[in-house]
């Protein structure tokens, strides 16, 4: 079965972060994009899933 994929823009913000986490928990591949690289790096530290990729 093919996994679903999502690109989340503004991923380090409240809604983007929550959406990313929601999809990861449901076994999606998540590509997270944001201008704030520091906030994205913090998000990555909170994720243990290999499905979470920073952009």
Q: pTM score, two decimals?
A: 0.73
- Taking alpha carbons only, the member of 11, 2, 48 closest to residue 20 is 11
At 3-54, the pLDDT tens digits run 899 999 998 889 998 998 899 889 888 888 888 888 887 777 666 555 566 6
The whole-number pLDDT of residue 24 equals 86
pLDDT digits 0-9 by tens, 40-52: 877 776 665 555 6
Residue 32 CA to residue 12 CA, distance in Å, equals 8
- pLDDT, position 15: 94
Q: What is the pLDDT of residue 38?
A: 84
Beta-carbon contacts of residue 26 (< 8 Å; ≥ 6 apart): none
């Amino acid at each position: 079965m093919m996994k679903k994929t999502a690109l989340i823009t503004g991923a380090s913000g409240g809604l983007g972060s929550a959406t990313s986490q929601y999809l990861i928990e449901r076994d999606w591949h998540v590509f997270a994009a944001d201008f704030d690289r520091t906030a994205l790096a913090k998000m990555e530290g909170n994720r243990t899933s290999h499905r979470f990729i920073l952009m």
